[in-house]
Amino acid sequence: MFPCAVCKKAVIAHAPSGLESAPALDWLEITSENFMVAGGKPRHYLDAIRARYPLEMHGVSLGIGGTDPLHKTYLRALKQLMLHIEPAWVSDHLCLTGVNGLNSHDLLPLPYSEEAIAHLSDRIGQVQDYLGREILLENLSTYVEYSDSAKPEWEFLTQVSRRSGCRLLLDVNNIIVSARNHGFDPEVYLAGLPAERIWKINLAGHSDYQHYVIDTHDQDVPDAVWALYESAIRRFGAISTMIERDADIPPLEVLVSDLGHARQCHALALSGAAQ
Amino acid sequence: MKLRALQQMFFDARSKTDDRLLSQLVADRKVAPEPGLSIYRNAYHARLVEALENDQKLLARYLGDALWPQLCTGFIGKNPSPYSWLRNFGDRLPAYLRRTEPLSQHPEIAELAQFERALLDCFDAPDATEPGVAWGAFAGLAPEQWPGLQLRLVPSLQLLSVRSNGIAIWRGLKAQSAPPKASLGASLGTPTV
């Protein structure tokens, strides 16, 4: 049993009619911020979907790597939503979102430094204590690299996870994107990760501009991502997997069919037939 | 460099005139620092424009392909977001339109934006805790019940003060018909179904 899901935007794009047929999805992910509202239409659909499927919460605004104090209003709303829908996981990104009281509304990279690891460990601990549970943090797709980075990204993720106790949400597409942009071997990246801390995998597509690659979530999952996914499953075992699609969204049945491919990858990789 | 200083430098680099961050980036990667930073700059702008367009579809249509991008660029440049939620980024757009020349000379534009924003707020306002009252129910009230009658408004209700026909223009745009000519004097226009 390998729980799989398609991305929130894909499902919302097809809601409510797409969900009336109750497609065979093991769980669904929501973007937390879209439902941190008092009531109305978003909460109505959320409750209707929650009645049919387990949910997972994925945020974009925690700003765990930031150096401003943690945003109490945001955390309070996150916890309220969490208590309301009882998600399987609560996740966000290992990144910076803003500084000095201002928000970029983007997922900006952190330097892979000892200072950043110590800072993150403290902040993640505060969030986990407040929420009363472990959180999952996702690796980014990046387009620049800091001179201050003293170690490769996979070592940084490993140390942050082990020191803070958080789990890792491994975005395989982001590894491919960053590998292309920075020139590292994605298999070396996988080999450097702590298998016991990887809790979820994301798959998506990207846009290839030859000299660089951008994580756009508007394409089918490409062969390179599927191949690295198979490799990840062989290394890490049966990890819950989600396909993200945020633009140019195809019919829901196409995405559900892609999930079937993910399940096949699981089966083949674990049986050794894909090796 | 200390983490906070580096983060401030990255945030400041969203402006195309601030290139200090480039000296803090590794130069020998497949994507060089300058094009790499441009990807973040472009994404920052595109994401905020998309948020404004999602909020203000009819204002964008009213202003057209020449004025709307100019408005977005001006607003984004002058209003870095203090919000945790991208949903709130456009909260201050109506006020910006009221005070910023030359669009401030056309009050219907700010009022159209204010109306669209208010609609958004209605859709995720707290739900009413009691069922609504249909008009027909009033007819069934006995005369002696009227003096003690108290009405409670639904939480999503907002009162807007307008002095132009901005809402009538909104209705025309929504109905995909030619909007009325802008004028002073509040006008709500003809309701659309």
- The full length of chain B comes to 193
* Percent of the residues in chain B that have a pLDDT greater than 70, as a whole number: 96
Whether residues B33 and A144 touch (CB distance < 8 A) is answered with: yes
Cβ distance of A180 and B156 shorter than 8 Å: no
Residue A236: give the domain boundaries: 4-42+88-96+112-274
Rounded mean pLDDT, A62-68? 97
Tell me the nearest-neighbour CA distance from B79 into chain A, angstroms: 10
Q: What's the CA gap between B37 and B130, in Å, rounded?
A: 52
Distance from CA of B27 to the nearest CA of A (A): 8
Closest CA to B88 of B61, B46, B55, B59: B55
What CATH code is carried by the domain that includes residue A117?
Answer: 3.20.20.150
**If you average pLDDT over residues B157-168, what whole number do you get?**
91
pLDDT band at residue B99 under the 50/70/90 scheme:
very high
What's the gap in Å between the CA of A189 and the closest CA on chain B?
16
**Nearest residue, CB atoms, B84 vs list A38, A74, A100:** A74
pLDDT the model gives residue B71 = 97
Domain membership of residue A63 (yes or no) is: no
Say if A237 falls within a structural domain. Answer: yes
- Band (pLDDT 50/70/90 cuts) for residue A274 is very low
Strand order, beta sheet including A136-138:
A4-6, A240-243, A198-203, A167-171, A136-138, A90-93, A55-58, A28-31
Q: What pLDDT sits at residue A8?
A: 46
Which amino acid would we find at residue B114?
Answer: Q
A 200-229 residues inside an 8 A Cβ radius of B: 211-212, 214
Residue A17's pLDDT is 54
pLDDT tens-place string over residues A98-123: 999 999 999 999 999 999 999 999 99
| Contact residues, A window 35-74, toward B, CB-based 8 Å cutoff | 36-43, 60-61, 65-67, 71, 73-74
The answer to whether B80 contacts chain A (CB < 8 Å) is yes
Kindly state whether residue A82 falls inside one of the protein's structural domains: no
Give the model's pLDDT for residue B193: 41
Residue A145 included in any domain? yes
Provide, as residue numbers in chain A, all residues whose Cβ is less than 8 Å from the Cβ of B29.
145, 181-183
For residue A5, pLDDT beyond 80? no
The reply to whether A23 falls in a domain is yes
Q: Are strands A4-6 and A90-93 parallel, antiparallel or unpaired?
A: unpaired
In a domain, A48, yes or no: no
Q: Are strands A213-214 and A207-208 parallel, antiparallel or unpaired?
A: antiparallel
Tell me, what DSSP letter sits at residue A97? E
Average pLDDT, chain A: 89
Lookup: tokens for A177: 């994107």
Q: How many domains does chain A have?
A: 1
The pLDDT of residue A254 is 83
Give the predicted TM-score (pTM) of the model: 0.90
A14 confidence band (pLDDT: 50, 70, 90): low
Considering the domain boundaries, does residue A139 fall inside one?
yes
Set of chain A residues whose Cβ sits within 8 Å of the Cβ of B11? 98-100, 102, 104, 108
A113 to chain B, any CB pair closer than 8 A? The answer is yes
Whether A18 is in a domain gets the answer yes
Q: What is the pLDDT of residues A189-234, one digit of tens each?
A: 999 999 999 999 999 999 988 888 998 888 889 999 999 999 999 9
Q: What's the maximum distance between 2 C-alpha atoms anywhere in chain A?
A: 52
**Do B26 and A148 count as a contact with CB atoms less than 8 A apart?**
no
Chain B positions in Cβ-Cβ contact with residue A61 (cut-off 8 Å): 84-86
A61, A79, A105, A217: best mutation site toward chain B, by most B Cβ within 10 Å? Answer: A105
Mean pLDDT calculated for residue range A4-23: 56
Strands (DSSP E) contained in A7-129 are 28-31, 55-58, 90-93, 96-99, 102-108
